[in-house]
Structure 1
């Protein structure tokens, strides 16, 4: 009888538990949002979908999101790919500081960039007034399409830089030497050798940039003015001050899910088409450029990085300016910091408490899913892998609304609590740590665990005591990306928060929306300092001077 009795398998229990959790906190909310889009007054209807496509105003928001996302993606590729090439192939002075600045550019909340550029190039902006007083020339308006494109491009090009930097590190230097011996060098080598070798990674970064641009909520809300985009319209339909239509908001959300899913599948097909493996026996060695090429290269790197980081420097600067009410006046003071002192610790506490709890769950769940996907491949674990990527392609505002619809009534009421914010952050930011954990686990041979098992460890002990420590760098890389995106999250948080769960990012947004730029700058400076500290801790723990995805 004992022989026929199946041995208890803890991993099978973990698989079922994860599927159940995804069913409850992801599939059920998405089903609720689908139901609300097609059921009105107890009857089936598609009138909200017809209304969206029949009225030019609503359809234009979709076109606007597409146009600005495609343009931002193209610009980030034009900026990011050459920047990664110069940085990894040649000696650039101050490269360590440059990389930290590049990372900070993409790690800050996107709408902070929009707010910063308004302070610089807005109607009464610093540079706008300076240029007009010196030359008499009136700068073109920063608001609308141009402003959104500027902010998103400078915000998201670091993602391309980091992804392509990772790919360049995997190129074998002997390939480049061989191409150079055959007369293929310089610009020709870049397009003929480097770009094709990096194509899978370039496509991956293209998807990430497009999704981030398409789902961005804060930037078009602050700087878009009349240029309405998809996420903003979803928010307005659900929480607008003029009037709300929850069924219509749900219909727009379903359209967003379908569109992003199509884009994701197209990118996945393209990635598979260009898929190949590279093993770098001899890593690329940086060379020192000479003459005019060296000068132009440094000018390009410093100019791009400087322009992208300028808004953050100016925000930090304005946080120390004297203010009278909402207006900046001459001189410097700590008035803005004094005004936020009462609420600052509450916002910091919520940021670390909510974000910290979410990050702990993210790390644990990511490790478990990585093991199931790599070591125990089967249908159920493939389903978990697929479900884990769904939030990666859904706009944050859609996730937030779906959770509100699903959990605002018995038997499980979570709306308005910190728990629903934690769940949203786990769902949204888990894919980053999963992907980096899977990537590192695939490089660790199974024989390591088998040796531990042969010495008396159980499969679970062998994984957690032997394999997980070997995965540390991969887990840490994903965790830092998850953490920084957690503390700068806006699109989901703005739908789910209340006064008792307000975070630093939400505090910045509230102050900007009130026109209190001094206190907003003070909050933003504190958030930037926390981001810098997080990156420094990561680099210290991982014992690396360079970061690449």
Structure 2
């Protein structure tokens, strides 16, 4: 008598495959960095001297202090600026609000290195505004380099993240709460402080964490305008690929310290969020009201003034991209043409294709895995999928430069050699961006009733067919919106890519870095403008496919 073998559950196989991917491409690289941090560079024996070196030598320890200082200050500025902006945007009628929203988001979606570079063109030692103030008033303006410059660049770039998070919370706030507070005499500023802020606190804390993490992990801004102001990511990069000395074990030790610090910050934020969490569901969304004449003028001045300050450097950068340059491209001269763009496509045309190929490939990986993982977490929750869910958040606490170093250490030798290839860049980008897409996919899937899938199965559709033909199409708008936003962040990735790229895999964002380092400002401006156009088109497409045209987190 033959015993009929039971076919393995397809979703168990999917779970094990995804778990294996996490082990190979995330846990293994992190483990390699950890083991390298306690291995002597010369003898290969176990040692803790690199950790002792970091904390005992003020030269290195000050990088930790500097990174915390800039991250805390940037977070504070972004909260002070972004929370009121989100409140005013959602409470009052603002003319051109959808255009304003695109401009606000655009200020955050541009590459950090490009933001720093554009501010240097305005306020650097030979910047436009600097030269104008010197010639007109014989006054030397404040120096853009160092702490003040990093604070300016990151604050004008990241305040929109606070705006997005708080806007998302306000969309879930019931208008009856505001009406009730008004009936009790709480209006204007008092209502904002006593009602709106407490209800939005979980989103505010999430926004603060995001801004803090991005500031702490930012590489391009301090690299370009930090000068003597040393920060964590730049120090990791210098130790790994330094021009004078290279110490991979010391770079690994700093990387481990960076992971532990971001883990502590992440857990502290989660603790505060759980303590202050509220469940809100808006049956009646907030009705925007028309402000008085004076209030309307002040609101429009605040909103559009903030956006203008954020975007003027990038607008100036686009303007310079059409200026004629010398043959070497390092000096501007009178006249306008498409010369810079022509030179870019002649010498770096592959960067455009690489951006589409590498970032597009990473996007496909992120979307496919995010859909599968969200389905496993929401619909087929078990021990394995719980582990996958926890592992999916690990990249959230790993800075980009650490991801790049981990990938090189893991795949530079052995059975799987990927360094120098486009694949390793796709994997690194996917690892960095997948936590955000998974969270949004989980939220979308959680809103789809399970009864819809049960009805399809009862009518004879298999579970896989139900997912492909029923569930995914119902998630489509959310998936597409998340994919577009992920695309924007992928094309502006620098911190991990700068360690992993080769001459054959250079992307537009890396092209800006290469052109700036060579002093060819014309080409750098042209590439930056192309990248900005990609971002604008992506945001417009996002607003077209989203249900209400609003962008929020």
Quote the residue 2:427 is aligned against: 423
Quote the residue 2:511 is aligned against: 507
Q: Distance in 2 between matches of 1:541 and 1:346?
A: 30
State how 1:245-260 maps to structure 2 within 5 Å.
Answer: 245-260=247-262
1:216–1:491 CA contact under 8 A, matched in 2: yes
Pairwise CA RMSD = 1.4
State how 1:158-173 maps to structure 2 within 5 Å.
Answer: 158-173=160-175
Quote the residue 2:368 is aligned against: 364
Residue 533 of structure 1 and its aligned partner are, at CA, apart by 1.2
Quote the residue 1:30 is aligned against: 30
Quote the residue 2:146 is aligned against: 144
Residue 340 of structure 1 and its aligned partner are, at CA, apart by 1.2
Structure 2 length normalisation: TM-score? 0.97
Secondary structure of 1:8's counterpart equals coil
Secondary structure of 2:283's counterpart equals coil
Q: 1:180–1:249: structure 2 CA closer, same or farther, 3 Å change rule?
A: same
- 2:481 is the alignment partner of 1:484: no
1:148-198 CA-to-partner distances (Å, cap 9, x unmatched) read: 000000111111111111111000001111111111010011111111111
Q: Distance in 2 between matches of 1:121 and 1:305?
A: 18
- 2:225 is the alignment partner of 1:226: no
Secondary structure of 2:493's counterpart equals coil
1:447-470 CA-to-partner distances (Å, cap 9, x unmatched) read: 111111111111222222112111
2:524 to 515, 520, 526: 520
Q: Distance in 2 between matches of 1:479 and 1:275?
A: 28
Q: 1:3–1:85: structure 2 CA closer, same or farther, 3 Å change rule?
A: farther
Mind listing any 5+ residue stretches in structure 2 that lack a counterpart? none
- 2:448 is the alignment partner of 1:444: yes
1:329 to 328, 333, 344: 333
Q: Distance in 1 between matches of 2:51 and 2:117?
A: 34
Residue 4 of structure 1 and its aligned partner are, at CA, apart by 9.0
Q: Distance in 2 between matches of 1:406 and 1:182?
A: 62
1:355–1:483 CA contact under 8 A, matched in 2: yes
Q: 1:115–1:452: structure 2 CA closer, same or farther, 3 Å change rule?
A: same
* Deviation larger for 64-73 or 270-279: 270-279
- 2:21 is the alignment partner of 1:21: yes
- 2:242 is the alignment partner of 1:240: yes
Quote the residue 2:462 is aligned against: 458
Residue 5 of structure 1 and its aligned partner are, at CA, apart by 5.6
State how 1:255-334 maps to structure 2 within 5 Å.
Answer: 255-324=257-326, 325=328, 326-334=330-338
Q: Distance in 1 between matches of 2:411 and 2:544?
A: 41
2:165–2:207 CA contact under 8 A, matched in 1: yes
1:184-223 CA-to-partner distances (Å, cap 9, x unmatched) read: 0100111111111111111111111111110000000001
- 2:550 is the alignment partner of 1:546: yes
Q: Distance in 2 between matches of 1:206 and 1:4?
A: 57
Q: Distance in 2 between matches of 1:219 and 1:104?
A: 17
Q: Distance in 2 between matches of 1:166 and 1:4?
A: 53
Quote the residue 2:353 is aligned against: 349
Secondary structure of 1:365's counterpart equals helix
Quote the residue 2:403 is aligned against: 399
Residue 543 of structure 1 and its aligned partner are, at CA, apart by 4.7
1:433 to 412, 432, 437: 437
Residue 474 of structure 1 and its aligned partner are, at CA, apart by 2.1
Q: Distance in 2 between matches of 1:87 and 1:194?
A: 14
Aligned residue pairs total 549
State how 1:376-395 maps to structure 2 within 5 Å.
Answer: 376-395=380-399
- 2:102 is the alignment partner of 1:64: no
1:428-485 CA-to-partner distances (Å, cap 9, x unmatched) read: 1111211110011111111111111111111222222112111122212321221111
* Deviation larger for 2-11 or 341-350: 2-11
Give 4+ residue runs of structure 1 displaced > 3 Å after superposition: 1-7
Q: Distance in 1 between matches of 2:269 and 2:449?
A: 29
